[in-house]
């Protein structure tokens, strides 16, 4: 448990790391998380994801205790279908337990994403006019930028 030393990241506006689930518990990934200001976490709308979030937040609290630093969190609901009771219950739990970190964007259940993955072509290229690209993902980028500005102003 060493002291976290600051690194000069001023020449970068954004650095994106794509980490596997349960990353916060992986000691190899902790340095990446320590370098992050904002952690965007896709959350599948089911009970197992809620349990995973509990573990992630526990690891982030431990990082804060050990190093005095942990990233802010933005939870992104995915596979969202408001008509399903399971999704409604999960949404209620997310609001109750993690409301301050919950994104206003909800990525709906869609065949476009798995189809794009199976074709190995990004959705933005295969279907640039998709509502996911023009609406939901654009809103997500706006929200990430807004959160990033808030984080930067706190540090200034």
Looking at residue 1, its pLDDT comes to: 46
Across all residues in the chain, what is the average pLDDT?
85
Q: What is the mean pLDDT of residues 132-154?
A: 91
Q: Give the confidence band of 33 by pLDDT, cuts at 50, 70, 90.
A: confident
What whole-number distance in Å separates Cα of residue 28 and Cα of residue 45? 27
* Residue 136, phi-psi category: left (phi > 0), alpha (psi -120 to 50), beta (remainder): alpha
């Amino acid at each position: 448990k060493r002291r976290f030393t600051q690194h000069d990241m001023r020449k970068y506006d954004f650095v994106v790391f794509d980490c596997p689930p349960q990353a916060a518990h992986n000691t190899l990934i902790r340095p990446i998380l320590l370098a992050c200001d904002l952690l965007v976490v896709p959350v599948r709308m089911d009970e197992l994801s809620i349990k995973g979030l509990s573990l992630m937040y526990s690891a982030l609290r431990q990082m804060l205790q050990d190093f005095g630093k942990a990233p802010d969190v933005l939870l992104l609901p995915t596979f969202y279908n408001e008509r399903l009771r399971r999704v409604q219950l999960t949404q209620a739990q997310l609001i109750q337990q993690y409301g301050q970190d919950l994104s206003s964007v909800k990525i709906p259940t869609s065949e476009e994403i798995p189809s794009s993955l199976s074709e190995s072509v990004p959705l933005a290229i295969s279907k640039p006019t998709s509502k996911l690209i023009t609406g939901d993902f654009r809103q997500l980028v706006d929200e990430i930028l807004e959160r990033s500005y808030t984080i930067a102003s706190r540090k200034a």
